[in-house]
Chains A and B, each alone.
Chain A
Amino acid sequence: MATFKEFRNSVKPNWCPGCGDFSIQAAIQRAAANVGLEPENLAVVSGIGCSGRISGYINAYGLHGIHGRALPIAQGVKMANRELTVIASGGDGDGFAIGMGHTVHAIRRNINITYIVMDNQIYGLTKGQTSPRSAEGFKTKSTPDGSIESTLSPLEIALSAGATFVAQSFSSDLKQLTTLIEEGMKHEGFSLINVFSPCVTFNKINTYDWFKENIVNLESIPEYDPSNRIQAMTKLMETGGMLTGLIYQDKSRKSYEDMVVGFHQEGISNQDIQISEADFSKLVAEFK
């Protein structure tokens, strides 16, 4: 069985020292080993942004696509070969701005992949513009007078879109993060894990200390029941979305793949695609 070291490669990340994304990379590697994966059976698909580089830093099959489209690419990978474990990952701009349409529909579709958002409330790669996750009043290069748009609450949207797995974590809490990613990988359906991942270079407001002060860890609420959707929504609203832990899980809903009529357990890419003469004749005869 592979250890987390086998999910490492020799590429040195080009992230700034101190960037939250490093821990997320480590957590993915640990979680993959903990659930018993082999590197060749993992595919990591990422978007564009500082965070998007992550697919290149993990020893697994990786696809670094285009801005905002990690989710549809990852869903395509999974549909082609459901025997693979598929992780999609990218920034908050990637998933909640340009890719928001895909995010909502990936949630509704419930294909068995894990989506890890590296949420730094800002655009890192393009050097510090506002993101849908930026707080109102947040001053950036593109909002010199402070952001005047309301802050997006992606987890509330996820719940209302019918999400079957919603979690949130903080890149400093490697233990919690690793466990949640493992849970997400094991979940039979679409799992969304939003991770607060401070951008030390462009976001001087939402810093490590700021998160530590504002986060409400669900471990501190023993009576919390993650199968209760109404409670999940209420808690998210109460805490302004600052909850970490497993916020909601619905184990009863089947994944998309399991609901498609005639879909085999064997991945499409491992099947014989040559059509038989008998099948072909039957199809052709329908046009007579």
Chain B
Amino acid sequence: MISQLSWKIGGQQGEGVESTDRIFSTALNRLGYYLYGYRHFSSRIKGGHTNNKIRISTKPIRAISDDLDILVAFDQESIDLNAHELRPGGVVVADAKFNPTLPEGINAKLFPVPITAIADELGTSLMKNMVASGASWALLGLPLEVFNKAVEEEFGRKGAAVVEKNVEAVRRGSEFVLELAGGPLEEFKLQPADGEQKLFMIGNDAMALGALAAGCRFMPAYPITPASEVMEYLIKKLPKFGGTVIQTEDEIAAITMAIGANFAGARSMTASAGPGLSLMMEAIGLAGMTETPVVIIDTQRGGPSTGLPTKQEQSDINAMIYGTHGEIPKIVLAPSSIEECFYDMIEAFNLAEKYQCPVIVITDLQLSLGKQSCDELDYNKIVIDRGNLVRNAPELEPNQLFKRYEFTEDGISPRILPGEKYGIHHVTGVEHDETGRPSESAVNRKKMMDKRLGKMDNIKVTNPIHVDAPHEEPDLLIVSMSSTGGTVDEARVRLEEQGLTTNHITVRLLYPFPTEQFAPYAEKAKKIIVLENNATAQLASQIKLNVGHADKIESVLKYDGNPFLPSIVYNACKELV
């Protein structure tokens, strides 16, 4: 029996690829398997090849696999484009309708199943997804009752008749394929999972849930791939908590509305991707200058301009760190797992209010949209810290003004909300004095700049880097961020088997860079390999700038729109040593 397996479904966009994946993985989740999903899709709604891949495992996994065990194909194109991934002896389940053939040189078993024909016979070709997922399930020899339970859950709302039809489709699909294969495939028999249903979600869901838990009650946002799910989740949930989402006219409105809301005391955020973040830059400067907390999610995708809107990239690092004119305090956090997507939103809102500055939470497309199993989320870790927020301020002396920008030791001034009787003050993006009134005094200017930027010196973030350092002086220190960490860990197992010693750091706090925490590991490594999905080595530049060691830093870059695979990382590391 095997402990992990990869399955892929391919077809035309809009043809049921998504739903086949959803139903198949929901059922697997019921058995307690750990899942890691990858969606390959293009920027159109109907048509164009699309495929979803799921890694199924009895242990936690955080990476796409190099190869493929089972491919389900709705068309010949899906076979032609994906068959090369199949490992020798892999299986293709294809719709008999198009007389599927395997490309030359592919060593795999082909099972043509009349997927469309069965669905049509049952009344609608929409049920292709059921026939296909049922056939996959049967080949793995998994219990059919569990699958039917998942079907019932998906279609229960639509009535018993619909459920029955779908169950029938599953049955027909599985019977047909079992007959062809002569029973479940022994070599694909998975070890039983622990039976504990895991949370199964995309990073965007986890961030949206995290924001809700953090007390975010207002989200203005403008739709964009791959960020829209965040607003779509919150518009479903926020009304139950007295809040709401506004779909604004553009991202400038989104960020400025969020700033206005934070000024007035609500926890508010927006979410977008590169093009939207570009539009927000002036307003992010306003938040920095007026020391107004605000949280912004940047789900990175292929840039520049419209770039590769549905593909993986990590090329906004510089823009998030350096974007906006002038110099402001700012925090850039990069979660690297689903769990962290959740918890980091809570920390982001706390940091924003504690340090009274914009906090950007940066992900990448694979982390935002890849559906993954996730450990239980801990309610007790939801701790809200609103920083130096004054409530019921005491009466002021006659002619005394509330010092919203009071000079303090740590640079953090008392914040008070509109509605407070003794807190009236003005906020302006013009340079201002302690009371918030415009000032061009050179002395005040310098003091205010030092106050604002000085807040950055004291920023305390839990776990600014994640370290896995089993070796004192490793041959390699591999550095990753966002979704690439899991791939690195898989490559490391192979590298260690080859006798190479490796440590791994995932950078979580991109700005201000955690030099102090990072430096000792850099010091001791013989070579540092920085892995990133961009062409100009932006993360490596941050390390060179903040930590040094330019002479031993090497970059592995991938900017073709696809995520790293373990084999790519392994080969690149081997080559560089």
| A→B interface (CB under 8 Å) | 10-11, 38-41, 43, 45, 48, 55-56, 59-66, 69, 71-81, 83-84, 101-102, 104-105, 109, 260-264, 266-271, 273-275, 277, 279-281, 283-284, 287-288
Known: A66-B283, A269-B265, A288-B200. A61 touches B259 (CB 8 A): no
Pairwise interchain contact A64-B430, C-beta atoms closer than 8 A: yes
Closest to B422 in A: A40
Cβ 8 A contact of A40, one of B282, B418, B438: B418
Q: Does B136 reach chain A (CB closer than 8 Å)?
A: no
Contact residue among B200, B250, B428 (Cβ-Cβ distance under 8 Å from A56): B428
Decide if B382 is an interface residue (CB 8 Å cutoff). yes
Q: Could you tell me if A56 and B437 are in contact, using CB atoms closer than 8 angstroms? A: yes
Which of A65, A81, A261 touches B419 (beta carbons < 8 Å)? A81
Q: From B260, which residue of chain A is reached at the shortest CB distance?
A: A76
Q: What size tier do the contact residues of chain B reach?
A: 35 or more
Contact A280 B379 (CB under 8 A): yes
CB contacts (< 8 Å) of B198 on chain A: these are: 288
Residue B282 contacts which of A66, A76, A260, A280 (CB distance < 8 angstroms)?
A: A66
Q: List 16 A-B contacts (CB under 8 A).
A: A11-B437, A60-B424, A63-B263, A63-B290, A69-B252, A69-B253, A75-B246, A79-B244, A79-B246, A80-B265, A101-B253, A105-B249, A260-B244, A268-B265, A275-B212, A275-B213
CB nearest neighbor in A for B250: A101
- The answer on a CB contact under 8 Å between B256 and A69 is yes
A73 to B255, CA, bound (A): 9
Whether the pair B253, A105 counts as a contact (CB closer than 8 A) is: yes
Find out whether the CB atom of A76 lies under 8 angstroms from the CB atom of B257.
yes
Overall SS of chain B's interface = mixed
Q: Within the assembled complex, what's the spacing in Å between the Cα atoms of A266 and B241?
A: 12
The 8 Å CB contact of A260, one of B239, B249, B260, B382, is: B239
Complex Cα gap A209–B252 (Å): 39
Residue of A nearest to B376 (CB): A284
Q: A40-B424, A63-B260, A283-B209 are in contact. Are A269 and B266 (CB under 8 A)?
A: yes
Q: Which residue of A lies closest to B197 (CB)?
A: A288
A73 to B256, CA, bound (A): 5
Taking A40-B418, A105-B253, A280-B379 as contacts, is the C-beta distance between A76 and B213 under 8 angstroms?
no
Contact with A along B400-435 (1 / 0, CB 8 A): 000000000000000001111101111111100000
Q: Are A76 and B256 in contact (CB under 8 A)?
A: yes
Question: Counting chain B CB atoms within 10 Å of each CB, which of A55, A63, A260, A271 scores highest?
Answer: A63
B448 interface contact, C-beta 8 A: no
Would you call B217 an interface residue if the criterion is a C-beta within 8 Å of the partner chain's C-beta atoms? Answer: yes
Q: Is the CB of A81 within 8 A of B249?
A: no
Chain B residues lying within 8 Å of A48, measured Cβ to Cβ, are: 429
Residue B262, interface by CB 8 Å:
yes
On whether the beta carbons of B217 and A268 are closer than 8 Å, the reply is: yes
Are the CB atoms of B260 and A283 closer together than 8 Å? no
Q: Which residue of B lies closest to A256 (CB)?
A: B246
Query: Which residues of chain A are within 8 angstroms of B485 by Cβ–Cβ distance?
Result: none
Q: Are B384 and A284 touching (Cβ within 8 A)?
A: no
Assembly CA distance A74 to B218 (angstroms): 14
B 259-291 to A, binary, CB cutoff 8 A, 1 in contact else 0: 111111111100000000000001100100010
The winner among B259, B260, B374, B419 for most chain A CB atoms within 10 A is B260
Partner of A73, one of B217, B257, B374, B418: B257
Closest chain A residue to B338, Cβ basis: A287
Residues of B within 8 Å of A260, CB to CB, are: 239, 244
Q: Is A80 within 8 A of B268, CB to CB? A: yes
With both chains docked as a complex, state the minimum distance between the C-beta of B392 and any C-beta of chain A, in angstroms.
12
Separation of A80 and B219 alpha carbons in the complex (Å): 10
Inter-chain CA distance A101–B437, complex, in Å, is: 29
Query: Which residue on A lies nearest to B239, using beta carbons?
Result: A262
Asked whether A43 lies within 8 Å of B264 as measured between CB atoms, the reply is yes
- Taking CB atoms, residues of chain A closer than 8 Å to B379 are 277, 280-281
Which residues on the B side are within 8 Å of A283 (C-beta)? 209, 212, 237
Most buried by A among B29, B384, B428: B428
A104 to B240, CA, bound (A): 29
Give the distance in Å from the alpha carbon of A287 to the alpha carbon of B248 in the complex: 28
Q: Cβ of B160 < 8 Å from any Cβ of A?
A: no
Instruction: Report whether B262 and A80 are in contact in the complex, using a CB–CB cutoff of 8 Å.
Output: yes
Contact present for A72 and B264 (CB under 8 Å): no
A69 touches B217 (CB 8 A): no
> What B residues does A69 contact at CB under 8 A?
252-253, 256, 283
A40 to chain B, nearest CB (A): 5
Min CB distance A120 to B, Å, is 21
Query: Which A residues are CB-close (under 8 A) to B256?
Result: 65-66, 69, 72-73, 76
For B242, give its contact among A11, A73, A74, A262 (CB under 8 Å).
Answer: A262
B437 touches A275 (CB 8 A): no
Cβ contacts under 8 Å, B577 to chain A: none
Known A76-B268, A260-B244; contact A65-B213, beta-carbon cutoff 8 A: no
Output the nearest chain B residue to A41 by Cβ-Cβ distance: B419
Within 8 Å by CB of B260, from A39, A75, A264, A288, lies A75
Q: Which of A11, A65, A109, A273 contacts B246 (CB 8 A)?
A: A109
- When the two chains form their complex, are residues B268 and A284 in contact, meaning their CB atoms are under 8 A apart? no
Contact between B259 and A273 (Cβ–Cβ < 8 Å)? no
CA distance A186 to B418 in the complex (A): 20
List CB contacts (< 8 Å) of B150-202 with chain A: 197-201
Q: Tell me the nearest residue of chain B to A85, going by C-beta.
A: B418
